[in-house]
Amino acid sequence: MDAWEKKILGSPLRAAHKQARQLNFLYSRFSETAATVNPDTRLPGPRYWLLHTFAHTLIRELAMSCGYGRCQLH
């Protein structure tokens, strides 16, 4: 986990995610609070990405196994 985290921290993927988050704060946040927030202080770390992605994968798998992901045509 530590090796993967160090690899991600210095990767172009992390830089692209950071840039996208900055643009989101600049152009998509319209509250007064958002204008004063530095988006870099709110950027979750790679371990959060890993856990968040795993959680979505697990939720999707559970939904599919329960039949929620199936399209039913009548």
Answer with the residue of higher pLDDT: 72 or 65.
Answer: 65
Domain spans, the chain: 2-66
The model's confidence at residue 71, banded by pLDDT at 50, 70 and 90, is low
Full-model pTM: 0.60
Please give the Cα distance from 41 to 52 (Å, whole number). 18
pLDDT at 28: 75
The model's confidence at residue 56, banded by pLDDT at 50, 70 and 90, is very high
Quickly count: other Cβ atoms within 10 Å of residue 29's Cβ: 13
- Residue 53: C-alpha distances to residues 17, 34, 45 (Å): 14, 25, 13
Asked whether the predicted pLDDT for residue 21 surpasses 70, the reply is yes
